[in-house]
Structure 1
Amino acid sequence: MCETGHCFDCAREGYVNLLPASHKRSKDPGDNREMIDARHRVHQARLYHPLAEKIGIIMKALIGQNALVLDLGCGEGYYSSVLHQVAGKLRVHGVDVSKPAIRIAARSCPNAHFAVASSFDVPLASRSVDAAFSVFAPTGAAELARLVRPGGYFLDVSPAPSHLWELRELLYDNPRAHEQVVRELPSFEQASSEAVEFILELTAEQLRDLVAMTPYAYGGQRENKGQLARLDALELQVAFSLYLYRRLPS
């Protein structure tokens, strides 16, 4: 029970639902079940493990044991789970608007705490977070400034220009590189930036899952998507930009 008398039940899987109905933009906000299941299979196959491991290494170097780390837009909790494995004893919390994703997260990473909630309205106290991170997830500058303590950190992971380039070449006649955007975050200073790049050798099934978990599931010319569906394998470059921000004293 909170200080205003509201009660929130813990689901059987171990998460809580703190997303008010008035804050939902649809009946089932967030990614659809097909996208969630596809992404879960990709993560279970450890295809993005080098990125998850890098996030854990960065966090381990920044903060001490028992620090509170917030995974914004955590999805199925994959990065939270690897963070526990790499960085040791941290208090990891994750939020996402998708209830099906949070259910998987709570089962997959029982050492963390997960809630159905918006990254723009996180049910945590002000200045309670030692470090936050997001992987391809939208976040609000004002909410980050409220949550992260002075001297704390925020790690923003976004697609680099060449991310999934071979896939885009197959789907589009005139593919474009991802636009590289460095965010301006009031109350933060950029501390560092680095890239993580590696090659995936995908089976046909893994390729279908990777497409299904991305916006490319709905894009591309029809004839090109037919050609993609007939592939037995694909070598694919993945590339990420990691921008680290430090919360300024206030």
Structure 2
Amino acid sequence: MTGWNCPHCAQTLHKHERTYRCEAGHCFDEAREGYVNLLPANRKRSREPGDNREMIEARKRVHAAEVYRPLAQEIAVRLAEWLPASPRVLDLGCGEGYYSGVLLQRLADMSLWGIDIAKPAVRLAAKAHHRGKFAVASAFAVPLPDASLDGVFTVFAPASDAELARLLPPGGLYLNVCPAAGHLWELRQQLYAQPRPHREEVAALPGLVLESQDSVEFAVTLAPELLEDLVAMTPYAYGGERESKAQLSALGEFKVQMAFLLQRYRREKVA
């Protein structure tokens, strides 16, 4: 059965009570919420890597309001269709576990792992979803064994080409969810004098073949508080014109288009 690997030596971590330990003697304590921190201090680029607490709390409120529910349900439906029975799945860049939770509801027989570099987010994910296994870890050094997963999915999160190829066996699935050209277009018009659509790109991933690319679109109407949270949880928190951002609360209810691409890749099978 798939389990965590040691981030120092890549050996299997064995759990005894609330401690993970490898044969080399490296050990990691499980937090009371149920996650384990597998991000070595020498691999951190800052004291608190990943999304800050303000972004995490804003995203938590947006997800609690089910703003992204149609996308989450579509991801769950597609993965249920594309994955084998009793799948082993990694939510890469899981954040506070919103998409993991919807997927766990849809696939009762699934084994789910989730990693994120932001500890406050992983803490929330582990506390909310006890069926999942969550760790603080880097997407560029995932502490899981080679070819140990049936599927990996990312939602607006970076991924390593090499790690995807390593983690997936031949025929394994990778689903990349990213913004489509018109995503949040009305908001971009509000924040920028000359807004530009998102660039739609299909990455060439060594060892993986693109099988399909589909779009998911829907509109939502947001109250001023949720609109501010939506800005705070996205890159728009650091962009846009200051005066325009200050005026968001005066807009009243605001209708915005949500648009996404679902890019399905498969690990190439050996001839």
What is the TM-score with the length of structure 1 in the denominator?
0.98
Does structure 2 conserve the Cα–Cα contact (< 8 Å) formed by 1:69 and 1:93? Answer: yes
2:180 to 160, 163, 167: 160
Does structure 2 conserve the Cα–Cα contact (< 8 Å) formed by 1:57 and 1:87? Answer: no
Question: Equivalent residue of 1:129, what SS?
Answer: coil
1:200 to 204, 220, 225: 220
1:148 to 168, 172, 186: 168
Mapped pair 1:133 → 2:153: yes
Shift in Å, 1:72: 0.4
Distance (whole Å) between structure 1 residues aligned to residue 167 and residue 40 of structure 2: 20
What letter matches 1:204 in structure 2?
A: P
What letter matches 1:213 in structure 2?
A: M
CA deviations 1:188-209 (Å, max 9, x no partner) are 1111110010001101111011
What letter matches 1:184 in structure 2?
A: A
Where does residue 12 of structure 2 map in the other structure?
none
Shift in Å, 1:37: 0.3
Where does residue 125 of structure 2 map in the other structure?
105
Shift in Å, 1:109: 1.1
Does structure 1 conserve the Cα–Cα contact (< 8 Å) formed by 2:89 and 2:110? Answer: yes
Does structure 2 conserve the Cα–Cα contact (< 8 Å) formed by 1:59 and 1:87? Answer: no
Question: Structure 1 stretch 31-40 or stretch 227-236: which is displaced more?
Answer: 227-236
Q: What's the Cα RMSD here? A: 0.9
Question: Structure 1 stretch 12-21 or stretch 221-230: which is displaced more?
Answer: 221-230
Shift in Å, 1:228: 1.7
Mapped pair 1:31 → 2:51: yes
What letter matches 2:26 in structure 1?
A: H
CA deviations 1:79-102 (Å, max 9, x no partner) are 000001122210000000000000
Does structure 1 conserve the Cα–Cα contact (< 8 Å) formed by 2:118 and 2:136? Answer: yes
Where does residue 48 of structure 1 map in the other structure?
68
Gaps in structure 2 of 5+ consecutive residues: 1-20
What letter matches 2:148 in structure 1?
A: S
Shift in Å, 1:34: 0.3
Distance (whole Å) between structure 2 residues aligned to residue 78 and residue 93 of structure 1: 13
Mapped pair 1:19 → 2:34: no
Gaps in structure 1 of 5+ consecutive residues: none
Question: Equivalent residue of 1:151, what SS?
Answer: coil
